[in-house]
Structure 1
Amino acid sequence: MIIIEKMISIIIPVYNTEKYINECVTSILKQSYKDYEIILVDDGSTDNSPDICNHLAKQYDCVKVIHKKNEGAGIARNRGLSIAKGKYVTFIDSDDYIGSEMLESLLKNIEERNSDLCIGGTVSINLNKQIIHTEKYSTLQIYKNKDEIVNNLIPRIFGSSPKKHDAIKIGNCNNLFKMDIIRRNDLAFESERKVLSEDLIWLINYLMCAKKAIVINSTEYYVRVNQTSMTHRYNPERFKLTIIQYERMEDYIKLLELDDKTIYRLKKQFFINIRECIKQENNCNFLNAYSHIKKMVNNEKLLFIISDYPINQLGYKQKIFLKLLRKKRKIILCLLTKLKII
C-alpha cells in the first residue's frame, strides 16, 4: 500500500449515530490542516447512518466508507486501519467532534519533536453541549526514550496514584499514531465485547513499541457523554470484564517489571471501574441489584485487591466507598445506588 507523506488517516467507527455523523465529519472538514482522509466504518448500523455515510462519500472526495457486519468499535477500527494511506492515524467516535486546530496541533508537535505518539486532552460535554469535565495537561511532557515511556508514562495510563489525580486518559481520542509502527508490529484492537477497554490495551501495546512520546495541553476533542451509548448502557458482563481487564493489566506490570506504585495506580482505576459496575445497577429493580452487588462484594479477587490498598490516602467519598466494599455492606451500597449517590 502507498503511504502518503504527512497525510493523516482519520478512522471513525459508526454505529447508529445518525444524529451526530454530519457534525462529526463537518468538524473535520473545517480543520486548519487539510491533508487527511476520513474513513467511515459503518459497523452494521440499523438506522440511517449507512445512507448518511454514503452521501458524505459522494459529496467529499476525502471521505471513504466501509460497510460491515456489527462486531464492535475495536474491530471496526481494524478495518479502517487495513485501508489507511496516511503516515499518521487518529481515531474519532462518530458522536463526538473536534476543534478546528486539532490535527495541526497534533502533527506539529509529533513532527517537531520527532515523536512516535502525541497525546492531547479532551472536553466532555452533555447533549446540550455544556461542559462536564475538561481533561487538560498543564505543560508539555516529553518521554524521550523507551525507559521513560515504560517507567514514567505507562504507569500513569494505568491510573492515578492514591494521593492525587495524575493519570493520563485512557483512550485514543486526540492522539496521533504512526502507521509504520502499527504495521511493523501488527498492532490491532481487540473487541470490546471481550475486554472492558480495548483502547487501554491498544495504547499500552503501542507504547511498548514506541521510542518517544509526548503529551500536549491541547483540548480540541469534544466527547459527547450520551447515556444511551454502548459505554453507558447496562452491561451484565461489566463486572466480569472488569476483573479480566485487571488481570490483563497485572500481566503487563509483570512483563514490564513495574513497581508497586504502578500496582496501586492499577488498583485505583480498578475501584473506579467497580464503582461503575455498581452504579449501573440503578437500572435494575432492588432485588436484582442487591443480588448482583452481593456477588461483586463477595468476589475473592475484589476482596484481595482491596485488602492491602492504602484507603486512608484517598478522598472522603472514595474512602467511604472502599470501606463499604471491604466490609461487604451490600444493602447500603444498593440503597446508595438507587438514590444515585454512587
Structure 2
Amino acid sequence: MEDNYLISVIVPVHNTADYLRKCVDSIRNQTLKSIEIILVENLSTDQSADICDEYARIDKRVKVLHLSEAGLSIARNEGLKVASAPYVGFIDSDDYIEPTMYQEMLDAIELYQADFSYCNYVLDFDYKESVFPFRNSGSVGLCSREDFIRDMMWEKISCSVCTKLFKKSFFDTREFPVGRLYEDRLVMHEWVLTCTNIVWVDKSFYHYIERLDSICHTITPINYYHYFLSEFSRVEFVNRQSLFKDKELCEVQTMMLRICFSIFKDIMLRVEPGDFQEPINDMRHRMKELFPLLKKGELESRCYKKLWKIIYLWPVYRLIHYNKFKRSRI
C-alpha cells in the first residue's frame, strides 16, 4: 500500500555531488515526516546519480528519476508527473532548508486556504559571510496578489518557486518553460495573476548557496540572453497591467529596462560583429515592439533616449560601443 504523503518535494539534480547530501538530509530531517522526496537526476557526470540511488535504498520516501536529457524545467515537469501529494515544493540540489520549513509552510497554507505559501531566504556564500535580507518577525498573514507582484518586481521578495509551497492543483494547467534559463523569473508574475489567496511566513527557511560556478553566475552570451528574456517579460507585463501608476510606473519600468540595457550591452560587447546575430536581433525587435506602447512620463528621459538609439540608430550605436570594448581589451 502506497504512503499518503502530505508534500512532494521535487529536487532537480545535475552535477551537485558536493552539495547534494546536505540538501537531501535537510529534507529528510524535516519535523514534518510525511514528505515524498523526488530526486530528478539528469545527465550528471559526477557522483550525483549514485548518491540519489543510495538515498532511495535507505529511505523509502525517496523516489529517483534518471532522465536522458538535461534541463531544470524538464526535471521539474517530470517530477510533477509522479508527485503523489496534495502539496508540492521545489528545492535546488545545491541549497538546503531549515528543519521546520515545510511544517510551518503547510500550516499556513491550510489555515488560509491559500494557493501557495512563501517564506524568506538566506544567501549563503562560499566566499564571504551569509546575508539575511529580511526582518524575520515570525508573523504569518495573507498577501494580496497585487502586493505580491509589486514586491516581486521591486525585488523585495524572491520569484523562485523554491521559497514556496504550492497546492499540487496549481500545476494542473501550468508547466515550467523548457529550453529557458531563469524560468521562475520568466513566468512567476503571470502565474500569480490567477491566484486567490497567498500567505507569507515571515521567517528565513531557505538557504541559497551562492556558487561562482552555478548556471546563474556563469557569464556567457547565451546566459545573458536568457536573463534578458526573463527581465523583458517583466517589463512587458508591467506595461500591460495596471499595478503601477504615474511616478511608480516610471520608476519600476526604468529600473527593469536599465537591467535589460546592461545585459544587451554586455552581450553586444562580448561577441564579434556578425556572431550571435539572431539573439541580438530578437532583443532589438522586442524593444522596438515595446517602444510605441510607452506613454510620455512612463520612462525616465535618459532611459527613453537610450531605447530610441538602440532601435533607430543601431549601426552607429553598435560601432561606438564595440570599438570601446575592443580598446579596453588591448
Q: Same fold (TM over 0.5)?
A: yes
In 2, the alpha carbon distance for the partners of 1:23 and 1:129 equals 19
Matched, 1:135 2:120: no
Unaligned stretches of 5+ residues in structure 2: 310-316
Matched, 1:152 2:158: no
Q: Is residue 106–residue 176 contact of structure 1 (8 Å, CA) maintained in 2?
A: yes
Superimposed CA distance per residue, residues 223-252 of structure 1 (whole angstroms, 9 cap, x where no aligned partner): 111111111112212443344334533554
Matched, 1:245 2:252: no
Superimposed CA distance per residue, residues 24-60 of structure 1 (whole angstroms, 9 cap, x where no aligned partner): 0111122111110110000211211111111111111
Unaligned stretches of 5+ residues in structure 1: 161-165, 313-318
Q: Which residue in 1 is equivalent to 2:95? A: 96
Matched, 1:271 2:258: yes
In 1, the alpha carbon distance for the partners of 2:122 and 2:218 equals 21
Matched, 1:188 2:187: no
Deviation at residue 210 of structure 1 after TM alignment: 1.7
Deviation at residue 308 of structure 1 after TM alignment: 5.9
1:50–1:210 Cα change, 3 Å: same
TM-score (norm 1): 0.74
Deviation at residue 108 of structure 1 after TM alignment: 1.6
1:333–1:203 Cα change, 3 Å: farther
Q: Which residue in 2 is equivalent to 1:315? A: none
Q: Which residue in 2 is equivalent to 1:223? A: 208
Q: Residue type matched to 1:175 in 2?
A: K
Deviation at residue 216 of structure 1 after TM alignment: 2.1
1:202–1:324 Cα change, 3 Å: closer
Deviation at residue 300 of structure 1 after TM alignment: 7.8
Superimposed CA distance per residue, residues 267-294 of structure 1 (whole angstroms, 9 cap, x where no aligned partner): 4244346546667999x6xx969x99xx
In 2, the alpha carbon distance for the partners of 1:332 and 1:325 equals 20
In 1, the alpha carbon distance for the partners of 2:243 and 2:68 equals 40
Superimposed CA distance per residue, residues 75-116 of structure 1 (whole angstroms, 9 cap, x where no aligned partner): 110000000011111110000011111111211211122211
TM-score (norm 2): 0.76
**CA RMSD between the two structures:** 4.0
1:278–1:240 Cα change, 3 Å: same
SS of corresponding position for 1:220: strand
Q: Residue type matched to 1:176 in 2?
A: L
In 2, the alpha carbon distance for the partners of 1:330 and 1:201 equals 28
In 2, the alpha carbon distance for the partners of 1:322 and 1:333 equals 22
In 1, the alpha carbon distance for the partners of 2:186 and 2:25 equals 30
Aligned length: 309
Q: Is residue 108–residue 117 contact of structure 2 (8 Å, CA) maintained in 1?
A: yes
How much identity, in percent, do the aligned residues show?
25
Q: Which residue in 1 is equivalent to 2:314? A: none
- The structure whose Rg is larger is 2
Deviation at residue 213 of structure 1 after TM alignment: 0.4
